[in-house]
Structure 1
Amino acid sequence: MAPVAARRACNPVEPSGLTSTMKRQKKIKMEKKIKKTVKRLRVDMANISIEQRGIREQQKKIREKLEEIGSQCAQLREETELIFRQKAGNQVLLNLVCQIIKARQDRDIEKAASLACTLRDLIAKQKGKRMLMACPKCE
């Protein structure tokens, strides 16, 4: 091995003035700092993972609620459509009744009887069966 002076000549002191023990201590400090940072990052990652799991569960619940709301919306749409159809049917029946009343006021018995048969047929169709008391003129 070369004498100390020769070693120093080959490996002169760095401009910063750090010796090898100082370098080692600095390296150890850096490693400790890095280990501390890695440990903190792992804890942060674990916390983030837990938060993400919670977020996924909340999203799943929200998705289920939205699907439920969608099905309720579709059901309400169907019910509304049914009500409008019933309203239209009732309007037709009311118009026929008004025409029957007007025909009777005008003493047009044939028209009133024809309208009454039409009214009976519509009511029978709405109920899904033919009425027992059928008008002989309608048949």
Structure 2
Amino acid sequence: MGSTKYHQKSFRTMHSHENPENSTRIINKLQAEMAEISKQHEEIKQGQKEMRERFEEMDSECEQLKKETEDISHASDNVQLRLNIMLDILKARQEDGFAKVSYPTGSLRGSMK
């Protein structure tokens, strides 16, 4: 605690001989530096806001792509199912099993609804 009092006293003693013009100049310089730091701080905050908005936008796009991929996958599964049924119909026709063709044909019609 004694060192703090000594420091304050020596600071006052050291700077007591300065003229008011010099003090004003130092204050103005410090204010200018503080204004510059404040400006940089605002720019950083703005950059962070823009990055947050961009990440939110990317997240939204990712969710949309995921949904579209699921839709495409589902459609692909349906197409594959129909192709399998058509193959079954062709095989039944080749075997002269027209009676066997009615079930897969009904299934194909049902899958197209």
Same fold by TM-score, threshold 0.5 exceeded? Answer: yes
Residue 106 in 1 paired to residue 105 in 2? Answer: no
Question: Counterpart in 1 of 2:75?
Answer: 86
- Structure 2 counterparts to residues 2-17 of structure 1, below 5 A: none
Alignment RMSD (CA, Å): 2.4
Instruction: Specify which of 85, 91, 94 is matched with residue 96 of structure 1.
Output: 85
Distance 1:55 1:94 in 2: 57
Length, aligned pairs only? 101
Question: Going by fraction, where is helix more abundant, 1 or 2?
Answer: 2
1:72 matches 2:39: no
Rg (Cα) greater in structure: 1
Alpha-carbon distance in 1 for matches of 2:79, 2:43? 53
Which residue is equivalent to 1:61? Answer: 50
Look up the equivalent residue of 2:92 and give its one-letter code: A
Instruction: Write the letter of the residue equivalent to 1:61.
Output: E
Aligned equivalents of 1:68 and 1:108: distance in 2? 57
**What is the letter of the counterpart of residue 91 of structure 1?**
Q
Question: Which structure ranks higher in relative contact order (CA pairs < 8 Å, sequence separation ≥ 6)?
Answer: 2
Report the TM-score, using the length of structure 1 for normalisation: 0.64
